[in-house]
């Protein structure tokens, strides 16, 4: 288990009763438990009306038996979509490209993915990004290419000559990297989620006072 910061994952849909978006709703509904286990909330955003959403989600339920377990925001004016840059004016003044916004527990956008309108979003990759962000934040480290959960992460680079020499010695001794600027370690957050989580929240609250 890694530390699981609260987050909001926004995915913006083109419109109700569209084929690609329907497959995405089904896929994200099936994966909702995985996001919840990462303390991450799924939120849909659409420029269609609430009545249209209800009809569409009910139709999905009738056809598949799947209930969409997360809220869908009706952004009829497109105000929210424009604030987040989801409207692609080169394509349309009203239609959106497929966006993914991963937002942390203090409202900072941590990652943005943009898909073309004819390509559906990849749920496993989005889950990987969420866990990678949380793992990097928890360990004050970086994540290597093609990383998947429970694999080693990149140790922060040395800041002084003394730290550099110590890192060289460590890499030679433990064979845990390529050089002083690229070495690896296992996540330190596997069994300390509650303790670290509480401490980080306390630190944030102290900073506000």
- The string of pLDDT tens digits covering residues 55-87 is 999 999 999 999 999 999 888 887 887 777 776
Q: Are 36 and 64 in contact (CB under 8 A)?
A: no
DSSP β-bridge partners for residue 185: 153
What is the side-by-side order of every strand in the sheet holding 40-46? 72-74, 40-46, 7-13, 98-104, 109-115
Res 203: pLDDT: 57
40-46 and 72-74 strand pairing: parallel
Question: What does the pLDDT look like over 139-170, one tens digit per residue?
Answer: 999 999 999 999 999 999 999 999 999 999 99
In the residue annotation, 122 being an active-site residue is answered as no
From the list 21, 41, 138, 161, the catalytic residue is: 21
Taking the C-alpha atoms of residue 70 and residue 167, their distance in angstroms, rounded to an integer, is 46
- E strands, the chain, are 7-13, 40-46, 72-74, 98-104, 109-115, 153-154, 177-179, 182-185
pLDDT at 28 over 70: yes
User: If you average pLDDT over residues 110-117, what whole number do you get?
Assistant: 89
The predicted model gives 37-56 an average pLDDT of: 88
DSSP string over 97-126: -EEEEEEETTS-EEEEEEE-TTS---HHHH
Q: Which domains occur in the chain, in start order?
A: 7-134 (3.40.30.10), 135-208 (3.30.1020)
Instruction: With a cut of 80, say whether residue 181 has pLDDT above it.
Output: yes
């Amino acid at each position: 288990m890694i530390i699981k910061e609260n987050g909001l994952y926004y995915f913006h849909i083109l419109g109700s009763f569209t084929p690609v978006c329907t497959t995405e709703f089904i896929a994200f509904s099936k994966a909702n438990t995985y996001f919840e286990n990462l303390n991450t909330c799924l939120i849909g955003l659409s420029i269609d009306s609430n009545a249209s959403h209800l009809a569409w989600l009910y139709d999905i339920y009738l056809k598949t038996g799947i209930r969409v377990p997360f809220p869908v925001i009706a952004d009829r004016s497109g105000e929210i979509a424009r604030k987040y840059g989801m409207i692609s004016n080169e394509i349309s003044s009203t239609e959106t490209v497929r966006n993914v916004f991963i937002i942390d527990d203090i409202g900072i956008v941590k990652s943005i993915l943009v898909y073309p309108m004819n390509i559906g979003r990849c749920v496993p990759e989005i889950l990987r990004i969420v866990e990678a962000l949380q793992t990097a934040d928890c360990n004050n480290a970086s994540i290597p290419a093609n990383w998947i959960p429970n694999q080693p992460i990149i140790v922060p680079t040395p800041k002084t000559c003394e730290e550099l020499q110590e890192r060289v010695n460590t890499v030679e001794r433990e064979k845990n990297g390529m050089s002083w600027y690229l070495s690896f370690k296992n996540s330190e957050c596997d069994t300390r989620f509650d303790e670290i989580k509480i401490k980080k929240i306390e630190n944030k609250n102290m900073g506000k006072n």
